């Protein structure tokens, strides 16, 4: 009988831990779904004006805003791509509001062929959402000095480059000529939610561990016969 004690402890302990991890991921799934629902409701809310000048907009991520003014003709092109089209760029434009404030607006995507198309200063009404992309890291190359191309959206350096406030708006709707630019609104589809897959993985491992434990116990019993 003593030969069964250690395999039982190992087996039941492993199963318990793996099941706990699976149920923990289910709890995380419920939390993530509630968070995504809250973000989606916030994204689609009625747009407001910009927050007061000097406000840190990082905590205001996803807040809908409405801008009335014009682009300045100054822009940054960020390397991007689109399924079915291929390589292209996100057009980040300096935008001056009627009140004289200068902010960054992500107008949307242009294909590689439209890179050099003229995009002069244009009056626009933009509805979109405040954002603070966290795309740049220690592996992101700096902007190419020859082409002016950027490899990630990085609010503070972009604001310094274009002489704007560190306020970044992603356009969802543009009323005014935008030179073939296709807006890319913020959506929750870009926020990963893999907790269900993780839960299934942990539960599957718990089942495999149980089968292996039973197989080991059966083998011990056979050796005693």
Q: What is the pLDDT of residues 195-219, one digit of tens each?
A: 999 999 999 999 999 999 888 888 8
- pLDDT of residue 181 exceeding 70, the answer is yes
Given this model, what pLDDT does residue 113 score?
A: 85
Given this model, what pLDDT does residue 96 score?
A: 96
- 79 bridge partner residues: 89
Query: Average of pLDDT values for 168-180?
Result: 84
Name the 3-class secondary structure at 48.
Answer: strand
Q: Measure the CA–CA gap between 78 and 143, rounded to whole angstroms.
A: 9
54 CB-contact burial (10 Å; exposed 0-12 / middle 13-18 / buried 19+): exposed
219 versus 1: the higher-pLDDT residue is 219
Band (179; pLDDT cuts 50, 70, 90): low
Specify the pTM.
0.79
Cα distances (angstroms) measured from residue 19 to each of 22, 26, 32: 5, 11, 20
pLDDT in tens, 115-173: 888 889 999 999 999 999 988 888 999 999 888 899 999 999 999 999 999 999 999 99
- pLDDT of residue 1 exceeding 90, the answer is no
7 versus 30: the higher-pLDDT residue is 30
- pLDDT of residue 177 exceeding 70, the answer is no
Count of other CB atoms within 10 angstroms of residue 61:
16
- pLDDT of residue 224 exceeding 80, the answer is no
pLDDT in tens, 33-68: 998 998 888 898 999 999 999 999 999 999 999 999
Structure tokens at 87: 């390589």
Count of other CB atoms within 10 angstroms of residue 210:
16
Given this model, what pLDDT does residue 62 score?
A: 93
Band (92; pLDDT cuts 50, 70, 90): very high
Quote the crossing angle between the two packed helices 195-224 and 2-43, to the nearest 10°.
170
- pLDDT of residue 70 exceeding 80, the answer is yes
């Amino acid at each position: 009988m003593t030969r069964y004690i250690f395999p039982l402890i190992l087996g039941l302990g492993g199963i318990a831990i793996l099941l706990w991890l699976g149920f923990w991921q289910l709890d995380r799934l419920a939390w993530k779904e509630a968070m995504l629902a809250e973000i989606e409701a916030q994204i689609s809310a009625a747009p407001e004006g910009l927050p007061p000048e000097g406000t840190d907009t990082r905590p205001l991520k996803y807040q809908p805003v409405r801008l009335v003014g014009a682009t300045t003709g100054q822009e940054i092109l960020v390397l991007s791509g689109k399924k079915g089209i291929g390589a292209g760029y996100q057009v980040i434009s300096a935008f001056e509001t009627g009140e004289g404030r200068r902010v960054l607006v992500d107008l949307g995507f242009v294909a590689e062929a439209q890179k050099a198309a003229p995009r002069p200063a244009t009056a626009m009404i933009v509805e979109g959402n405040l954002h603070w992309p966290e795309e740049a890291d220690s592996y992101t190359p700096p902007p190419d000095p020859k082409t002016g191309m950027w490899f990630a959206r990085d609010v503070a350096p972009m604001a310094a480059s274009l002489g704007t406030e560190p306020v970044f708006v992603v356009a969802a709707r543009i009323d005014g000529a935008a030179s073939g630019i296709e807006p890319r609104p913020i959506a929750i589809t870009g926020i990963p939610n893999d907790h269900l897959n993780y839960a299934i993985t942990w539960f599957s491992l718990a089942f495999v561990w149980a089968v292996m434990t039973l197989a080991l116990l059966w083998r011990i019993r056979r050796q005693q016969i």
